[in-house]
Amino acid sequence: MNIIIIEDEKPSARYLSRMLSGLGFEVNNMLHSVKESVQWFGQNEHPDLIFLDIQLSDGLSFEIFENIEVNSAIIFTTAYDEYALKAFKFNSIDYLLKPIVKEELQGAIQKYQERIDKQPVTIDANAIKQFFTKQNEPAYKKRFTIKVGQHLKMIPVEEIECFYSENKGTYICTIHQREYLLDLTLEQLESELDPHIFFRVSRKFYININAIKDMISYTNSRLQLKLKTFTGQDIIVSRERVKAFKNWLV
């Protein structure tokens, strides 16, 4: 069996190679980066089996296969959570959680050997890359919980037209023309809101892109925004934010 290891930590690669040797399998090559692997695949016959680390020093290992048709079975070696991996099991893929133990390594190879003759090796590298890229994206608020009297009210972000500050308080304004006091500052909201949906147009306002009804030229190279339901105050895009705001709209 032709085996290669793709792992950016050389001691880990050598350790896995010794474990495989102890099980009677010889490793034909060890690669340590996306760049090195792309070059190697372009010049060599693809192996039967790849032990693939997900996070390499110069990027996600799936980048290797974006322009290369994969003809190899893959066993991931990863520190990613076991349950996340179970969510995207593919036809001929298995995984080993680090630190790798001999019994699990032996079991993964046995699974490979048992099914390799029964079905062709297939892998959708782009789908897997998208999955792991998504795992690394920040988790933004999907709803805010507001105290109303003795009750708690959940407000989905889709129902929020804007946030604004006034008299040291921060308020949520909804599509239902209701306003609620929020126990956060606009500065604290910055890491909570999806920047594709919400933009801070001034020191006073964060607005939802889906709530914009009209944009009007205003004095001193500024813009005035009209929202679908909010009419409580004028919303002015400050001059220093106009350029970034226009880029955000694209």
Instruction: Enter the pTM of the model.
Output: 0.52
Regarding whether 147 and 229 lie in a shared domain, the answer is: yes
* Domain end position, chosen among 116, 135, 154: 135
Question: What share of the chain in percent tops pLDDT 90?
Answer: 56
Q: What is the pLDDT of residues 187-219, one digit of tens each?
A: 999 889 999 999 999 999 999 999 999 999 999
Give residue 108's domain range: 3-135
Regarding whether 176 and 101 lie in a shared domain, the answer is: no
Regarding whether 41 and 126 lie in a shared domain, the answer is: yes
Regarding whether 219 and 129 lie in a shared domain, the answer is: no
| Residue 83: band (very low, low, confident or very high) from pLDDT cuts 50, 70, 90 | very low
State the CB neighbour count (10 A cutoff) for residue 177.
12
pLDDT of residue 122: 57
Regarding whether 107 and 74 lie in a shared domain, the answer is: yes
Asked whether the predicted pLDDT for residue 37 surpasses 80, the reply is yes
Regarding whether 164 and 46 lie in a shared domain, the answer is: no
Among the residue ranges 31-35, 121-125, 159-163, the one predicted with the least confidence is 121-125
For residues 162 and 171, is the Cβ–Cβ distance under 8 A?
no
Regarding whether 129 and 36 lie in a shared domain, the answer is: yes
Asked whether the predicted pLDDT for residue 98 surpasses 90, the reply is no
Asked whether the predicted pLDDT for residue 50 surpasses 50, the reply is yes
* Mean pLDDT score, 92-116: 82
CA angle 134, 135, 136 (to 5 degrees): 90
Question: What share of the chain in percent tops pLDDT 70?
Answer: 84
Pairing state between β 3-6 and 27-31: parallel
pLDDT of residue 92: 47
Pairing state between β 3-6 and 49-53: parallel
For residues 48 and 1, is the Cβ–Cβ distance under 8 A?
yes
pLDDT of residue 61: 81
pLDDT of residue 95: 77
Query: Considering its fold, how many domains does the chain have in total?
Result: 2
* Mean pLDDT score, 69-83: 73
Q: What is the pLDDT of residues 141-179, one digit of tens each?
A: 899 999 888 889 999 999 999 999 999 899 999 999 999
Regarding whether 118 and 16 lie in a shared domain, the answer is: yes
Asked whether the predicted pLDDT for residue 119 surpasses 60, the reply is no
* Domain end position, chosen among 106, 135, 164: 135
pLDDT of residue 33: 92
Regarding whether 122 and 16 lie in a shared domain, the answer is: yes
Average pLDDT, the chain: 86
pLDDT of residue 93: 63
Whether the upstream peptide bond of residue 120 has omega within 30° of 0, thus cis, is: no
Regarding whether 151 and 127 lie in a shared domain, the answer is: no
Regarding whether 21 and 67 lie in a shared domain, the answer is: yes
pLDDT of residue 54: 81
Report the DSSP beta bridge partners of residue 172.
163, 180
For residue 84, the domain's CATH number is 3.40.50.2300
* Domain end position, chosen among 135, 163, 183: 135
Dist. CA 23–CA 35, nearest whole Å = 30
Dist. CA 126–CA 120, nearest whole Å = 19
